[in-house]
Amino acid sequence: MLKFPKDFQIGASMSAMQTEGKGITPIGELAFDKYFKEHPELFFEGVGPDITSDITRHYKDDLKMFGQIGLESIRTGFSWARLFPDGKTLNQEAVDFYHDYIKEYKRNNIKLFMTLFHFDMPLWAHEKGGWESREVIDSFVKYANFVFTEYKDSVDYYVTFNEPLVPVYEGYLNDKHYPAINDPKAAVEQAFGIFLAHSKVLLEFRKHNLKAPIGVVYNWNYTYAFSQSKEDIEASKIYDAYVNRGPLNIMYNGTFDPILFKTLDEFGMLPTYTNEEIEIIKKTKIDFLGVNYYFPCRVKTVECKDPRWIMDCMKIEIPSDAKINPHRGWEIYPEALYEMGMEIKEKFNNIPWYIAENGMGVENEERFRDETGIIQDDYRIEFLNDHLTQIHRAVEEGSNCFGYHLWAAIDCWSFRNAYKNRYGLVEVNLKDQSRKFKKSASWYKELIENKFK
């Protein structure tokens, strides 16, 4: 079994919205609540965001189970809509809940990463224009300032955004997130607002002089050209500027890829901004980087007539001989993690970083339940081992990777997919909210224990 350094954190991730549901305190309505009310038929088996894994009622038992596995750290988050249900009025019940919740992590000797925003846009904020609205951005900064003031260093690591552009691509260029429109100009405005909000929060955070570091968690689905043709290579560079390294560099240290400005300008797609806002973004500096990795992006040019923007002229295509997770239709390519680790070492000043999400989602996992009632998820163990092997290789060669979080600690609700594909080490029974370890939990426990042998 792989042996990592003792100070290499091995843990797991989840999120507020995907585990809390409505919970035990008041909470403001989310954009996803509205989506579910309008189109419940789009959500797998009609399971919406009301209950999810109900962790606000079960967290003491859940964290005890996480402790039994030996998880050394967990990433989850605060809910903006729970702390400020209408965007203005503080909900003291929520404040107290999060204090109790954080203390329970300490009791179980689990370090805590807390995210400020993980796809959970309050409905009032969406109705004001989402991240395009400077009023919404200012409210987000006030919420972040409250969190830093109230919870201080009881949180071990702060995270501004998880997968910041996923709600943009899935909600403004797709129908997976609300508002489910396809409008590149709106997508660009939303993305710029996220970059600005991230940078403003970082500047405010520095005023608090906390010991805890702050970073961002970015979904870096490593970019490759589909072929060695000149056209595919050029398309991969542009795709990278829009989806992977380009936005990552903005949120890492406030640098803009010239390709981004050039191609947006060519199509009349530049966002609305002021010089002052650009200067704020240029001041961006994070303390650590979290990376979510599930699959690579192999970029291919396509014929495009009357493109709205440059991204209409390319697509992602999976090679015919690729290994696939058939439940998600995603390519499985662990080797990208090693390349990523080397790139962070060489081009990102070897910033402290960790894998914030990586996991294997499978549909109908109950098919693999044995006679004792335990899900024998050997496919997950194989996936984790293959990816951890590449991380281990990068660490051995000097990449400053300090940990690995699988997705997910526990089965989580997953937006329109609900519980279609399960990822957890811990199984959730939606009928009675009971919990049960899967086989992978024992394997993960052994992996953690092996650090200290």
- Cα-based distances in Å from 214 to 164, 251, 252, 350: 15, 12, 11, 16
Joined together, the tokens standing for residue 334 give: 């662990």
3-state secondary structure of 334: coil
Tell me the residue type at 209: N
Give every CB contact of residue 410 below 8 A, 6+ residues apart in sequence. Answer: 14, 19, 53, 55, 62, 424, 425, 426, 428, 435
If one counts every other C-beta atom within 10 angstroms of the C-beta of residue 370, the result is 9
Whether 163 is a known active-site residue: answer yes
- Alpha-carbon distance of 91 to 88, in angstroms, equals 9
pLDDT score recorded for residue 450: 98
**Considering Cα of 268, then 273, then 278, then 279, what sign does the dihedral take?**
positive
Strand-by-strand arrangement of the 314-316 sheet:
223-225, 297-301, 314-316
With residue 159 as reference, give the H or E element that holds it.
strand 157-162
Tell me the residue type at 144: A
pLDDT score recorded for residue 238: 98
Residue 61 near residue 69, CB atoms below 8 Å: no
Tell me the residue type at 392: H
179 cis-preceded (ω within 30 degrees of 0):
yes
For residue 174, give the DSSP letter. Answer: S
pLDDT score recorded for residue 101: 98
Tell me the residue type at 265: D
Residue 416 pLDDT class (50, 70, 90 cuts): very high
pLDDT score recorded for residue 286: 98
Joined together, the tokens standing for residue 183 give: 């409008």
Q: What are phi and psi of 362, to 5 degrees?
A: -130, 135
Residue 390 near residue 338, CB atoms below 8 Å: yes
DSSP letters spanning 7-21: TSEEEEE--HHHHHT
**Region 4-21 average pLDDT:** 98
Residue 55 pLDDT class (50, 70, 90 cuts): very high
pLDDT score recorded for residue 59: 98
Joined together, the tokens standing for residue 59 give: 């967290």
Of 67, 58, 49, the closest CA to residue 434 belongs to: 58
pLDDT score recorded for residue 158: 99
pLDDT score recorded for residue 368: 97
**9-221+289-294+323-448 topology per CATH:** TIM Barrel (3.20.20)
Average of per-residue pLDDT values in the chain: 98
**Region 210-228 average pLDDT:** 98
Residue 301 near residue 236, CB atoms below 8 Å: no
Candidates 163, 170, 365, 427; catalytic one? 163
Residue 65 pLDDT class (50, 70, 90 cuts): very high
**Region 310-316 average pLDDT:** 97
Pairing of strands 73-77, 111-117: parallel
pLDDT score recorded for residue 66: 98
pLDDT score recorded for residue 423: 98
Domain layout of the chain by residue ranges: 9-221+289-294+323-448
Give every CB contact of residue 437 below 8 A, 6+ residues apart in sequence. Answer: 65, 69, 374, 425, 426, 427
pLDDT digits (tens, 9 = 90+) for 111-162: 999 999 999 999 999 999 999 999 999 999 999 999 999 999 999 999 999 9
pLDDT score recorded for residue 159: 99
Of 44, 43, 45, 25, the closest CA to residue 34 belongs to: 43
pLDDT score recorded for residue 134: 98
Of 367, 371, 356, 295, the closest CA to residue 331 belongs to: 295
369 strand-pairing partners? 375
State percent of the chain over pLDDT 90. Answer: 100
pLDDT score recorded for residue 330: 96
Candidates 72, 170, 331, 357; catalytic one? 357
Residue 403 near residue 352, CB atoms below 8 Å: no
Q: Where are the beta strands (DSSP E) in 14-106?
A: 73-77
State percent of the chain over pLDDT 70. Answer: 100
Whether 357 is a known active-site residue: answer yes
pLDDT score recorded for residue 20: 98
**Region 260-269 average pLDDT:** 97
- Alpha-carbon distance of 222 to 244, in angstroms, equals 7
Residue 180 pLDDT class (50, 70, 90 cuts): very high
pLDDT score recorded for residue 110: 98
Residue 203 near residue 254, CB atoms below 8 Å: no
pLDDT score recorded for residue 128: 98
Q: Label residues 303-334 b or e (16+ Cβ within 10 Å = b).
A: eeeeeebbbebbbbbbeeeeeebebbebbbbb
